[in-house]
A = this chain, B = another copy of it.
Amino acid sequence: MSKTWSVDEHLEDILRSVRPLDPIELNLLDAQGCILVDDVVVPTALPPFDNSSMDGYAVRTADVDGASEEFPAVLSVIGDIAAGSQGLPTVASGEAARIMTGAPLPPGAEAVVPVEWTDGGTGGGPADAMPAHSDAPEGASGQVRVHRPVLPRQHVRAKGSDVKPGTVALKAGTVLGPAQVGLLAAIGRGAVTVRPRPRVVVLSTGSELVTPGEPLGPGQIHDANSFVLTAAARAAGAIPYRVGAVADDADTLRATIEDQLIRADLVITSGGVSVGAYDVVKEALSRVEAFRGGEEDDREDAVGDAVEFRRLAMQPGKPQGFGLIGPDRTPILTLPGNPVSAYVSFELFVRPALRTLMGQESVRRRTVRARLAVDSPLTSPEGKRQFLRGDYTPPGEEGELGTVRAVGGAGSHLIAALAQANALIDVPEKTDRLAPGEEVTVVPLD
């Protein structure tokens, strides 16, 4: 009898063979969710020029020294400076320029007096707000009364105060979320070099499978696996191609996989990997010559030219296969045919492989400890690592442990229960019994 592999051994074997995809340059928004390949260095200062942090008046500080509401400094308004203004006026002694938030500080000016510290050019009391330019064009000239002094550089955002040229804005390996996309835009990057999203071809196998929406004949069931795996691949950040169900014929399956390799960074199949007489995936893929690329193979980490089928010490998901196939040595993971087994296998093996292709540093899901909320003990087969479906409730605001409830029992065919679960309960191989209230390891499926 051949070796039984542990979950960790199988995963490690996969991760040893899968390499991050080659980088490509993408437009900024297309790179969202991808991983930066190189450090991004700031090309020019941000902000690129001294600018006002308030709506108000750009002044020389000496002109407003000692100003108060009772004894305001009266300055001549020499113009409006909006954000984006070019050809700035120079502010001389006794003068002020009306300035908007973000607009460049004009030559001569040393600080900005907020509009609330002035009469807004109205000749009345302290202004509440700056009127719209179109409503008060006259505010760009005339006089303004300033009620308070300002310090040099007060209400001025200095050039380079956000980032200085030459500093690293984002490090290689950063995941580009909204804020990182924003920073790259702010420093003028319209495109960026990242690892692309992996393209995943998803096939399910079985002559009994019918596409959802079509009626069932005798002995037929609807194809759930290609849907659950396609959705899971997309949720993991990949670009999935659902090929759908292939009949149980080894030649057809082999031809289908060969056709699909051109658009695949990874292939997933489900079904046909057990010990049964119709295990078509096994039959199609275990012949080494079927997928030789014809080229010399000098890679040290070569795991063979075809797929190795294994028995894992886990439940659900015992029969698994993994290999590198075709001329590009495309990784293929062959998952068991039951929908729940297929999904659990995806979470344990395919998702880490996809995250490796994407260049993610952390490829495994986080785990948490939680208390088992059950009325009676759960049993687990000794010698098998069991992944029960769970309904996990995180701890309240005050820390503590969360709780987890098992949903649906151990029956691997219960997809209805899987759809009520938000977590897996990871039961170690040596454990055969879990008591109510016991602390367990939980994998939230966020």
Chain A interfacial positions (CB closer than 8 Å to B): 1, 28-29, 32, 44, 46-49, 53, 55, 80, 82-86, 88, 98, 100-104, 115, 128-136, 139-140, 157, 161-163, 169-170, 177-191, 206-214, 216-232, 234-235, 242, 248, 250, 274-279, 282-283, 337-339, 343, 346, 366-369, 394-395, 397-401, 411, 413-416, 418-419, 421, 445-446
Is B136 within 8 A of A277, CB to CB?
yes
Q: Are the C-beta atoms of A415 and B228 separated by less than 8 Å?
A: no
Q: A130-B275, A187-B212 are in contact. List 7 more A-B contacts (CB 8 A).
A: A46-B221, A82-B248, A83-B219, A84-B248, A182-B418, A186-B224, A368-B397
Kindly report which residue of chain B lies nearest to residue A446, judged by CB atoms: B446
Q: A83-B206, A102-B208 are in contact. Are A339 and B186 (CB under 8 A)?
A: yes
Partner of A207, one of B83, B179, B232, B250: B83
Contact B32 A134 (CB under 8 A): no
The 16 listed contacts between A and B (C-beta, < 8 Å) are A29-B231, A32-B235, A47-B413, A49-B219, A85-B208, A100-B277, A102-B221, A130-B276, A132-B279, A139-B277, A162-B416, A170-B419, A183-B224, A186-B415, A189-B212, A190-B214
How far does the Cβ of A177 sit from chain B's closest Cβ, in whole Å? Answer: 7
* B213, A419: Cβ atoms closer than 8 Å: no
**Taking the nearest CB of chain B, how far is it from the CB of A105, in angstroms?**
10
- In the complex the two chains form, what is the Cα distance from A343 to B358 in whole Å? 26
Q: Does A277 lie within 8 Å of B80, measured CB to CB?
A: yes
**What residues of chain B lie closer than 8 Å to A170, measured between beta carbons?**
419
| B275, B395, B399: the one within 8 Å of A115 (CB) | B275
Complex contact B178–A399 (CB within 8 A): no
A67 to B253, CA, bound (A): 39
Contact between chains at B186 and A277 (CB < 8 Å) = no
Q: Indicate if the CB atoms of A277 and B130 lie closer than 8 Å.
A: yes
| Contacting residue for A212 out of B28, B32, B178, B207, CB 8 A | B28
Taking CB atoms, residues of chain B closer than 8 Å to A343 are 178-179, 182
Say whether, besides A211-B190, A248-B84, A231 and B182 are in contact (CB < 8 Å): yes
Contact A283 B132 (CB under 8 A): yes
User: Are A188's CB and B216's CB within 8 A?
Assistant: yes
Chain B residues, Cβ within 8 Å of A274: 55, 100-101
Whether the Cβ atoms of B277 and A219 lie closer than 8 Å is no
Q: Is the CB of B399 within 8 A of A399?
A: yes
Pick the 8 closest A-B CB pairs, nearest first: A190-B213, A84-B208, A182-B228, A129-B275, A84-B207, A186-B224, A185-B227, A178-B231
Bound CA–CA A401/B103 (angstroms): 43
Interface centre among A219, A224, A369 (most CB of B within 10 A): A219
Tell me how far the C-beta of A47 lies from the nearest C-beta in chain B, rounded to whole angstroms.
6
Alpha-carbon distance between A279 and B186 when the two chains are bound, in angstroms: 21
Q: How far is the CA of A419 from the CA of B103 in the complex (A)?
A: 24
Looking at the assembled complex, report how far the CB atom of A309 sits from the nearest CB atom of chain B, in whole angstroms: 10
Q: Are A55 and B277 closer than 8 Å at their CB atoms?
A: yes
Q: What CA separation (Å) do A416 and B28 show in the bound complex?
A: 17
Q: Are A418 and B49 in contact (CB under 8 A)?
A: no
Task: Decide: B219 and A186 in contact? CB cutoff 8 A.
Answer: no
Cβ-defined contact, A212 with B183, below 8 A = no
A179→B421 contact, CB < 8 A: yes
Chain B residues with CB under 8 A of A49: 218-219
Residue contact A82 to B222, C-beta cutoff 8 Å = no
